[in-house]
Chain A
Amino acid sequence: MPDLVAGDKPGVLAEMVAKLVAGSKTMTRPDAVLQMLESREALGSTAVGPGVAFPHGRTLAVQKLTVLCARSKQGVDFDAADGEPTHLFFVLIAPPQDSGHKYIKSLAVLTDKLQDAALRDKLMAAEDYESFCAALKGN
């Protein structure tokens, strides 16, 4: 769960993919993951919640559902519909053969949860990974 350094949309996507690859033993093709996420953004911005974006999609470059949470204190212009900067990012990447659409169900749970302004504030204020996870779980 990195604090993002990049200040624009392409930079944020690249930074998050780099973190994903660094933290994974099985993901070795960052170019393929980045290309997929960029294509997904071309379909329409994934910044849908107030200050929250959910870059997502499927690619051959992952073997199981992979999630990354990241945040940007300064906020990033992620082409949100409301024009506001995006501070929280939840990346969900699934393999092509996830036939039960597990990742879409996970996406639905997250987009619903992140409507809660108090939760978003807790996530932004979380000082470490454990407190971030605890806030997300509702503890």
Chain B
Amino acid sequence: MHPQLQKLVALQDIEQMIAETQEQGDTLTDMGFNLSGLEALKEKAAHLAGEIEVRHLNYYRRLTRRFGHAVVPVVGNLCTGCFANIPASFVSVTNENKLQKCENCGRILYWP
């Protein structure tokens, strides 16, 4: 996997965790979960964001604002963001080290 994509996936997972903790914090606390590390998690997200190339990070931020999720999995050759067909050539060996974007919606593609 493209190393920058690996970091973008981790960043999206952590940012979603932060958002969910803020939205569902009371529910999770009622279940007994300790959420005292929220600030540390925000620092971890900031640190991770600092490791991503600015052009990729800015693109990720724009997509997140627009769609909620910037990185989406490809399932059955479909972009799960917009359900456009992803050409088979996108998964070729020569493209393995490129950050792939959906030609229809622009979301960053991830092959789980």
* Bound: A74/B36 CA distance, A: 28
A interface vs B, CB < 8 Å? Answer: 26-29, 31-32, 35-36, 39-40, 42-46, 48-49, 54, 57-63, 81, 95-97, 101, 104, 107-108, 111-112
- Cβ B44 vs Cβ A39 within 8 A: yes
* Bound: A93/B10 CA distance, A: 15
Known contacts A27-B112, A44-B35, A101-B24: does B80 contact A39 (CB below 8 Å)? no
Among the stretches B14-22, B54-62, B85-93, B96-104, the one at the interface with A is B14-22
B interface vs A, CB < 8 Å? Answer: 1, 6, 9-10, 12-14, 16-17, 20-21, 24, 27-28, 31-38, 40-41, 44, 69, 71-73, 75, 80, 110, 112
B41's partner among A42, A59, A101 (CB-CB below 8 A) is A42
B81 to chain A, nearest CB (A): 9
B90 to chain A, nearest CB (A): 17
Known contacts A42-B41, A44-B36, A63-B73: does B16 contact A111 (CB below 8 Å)? no
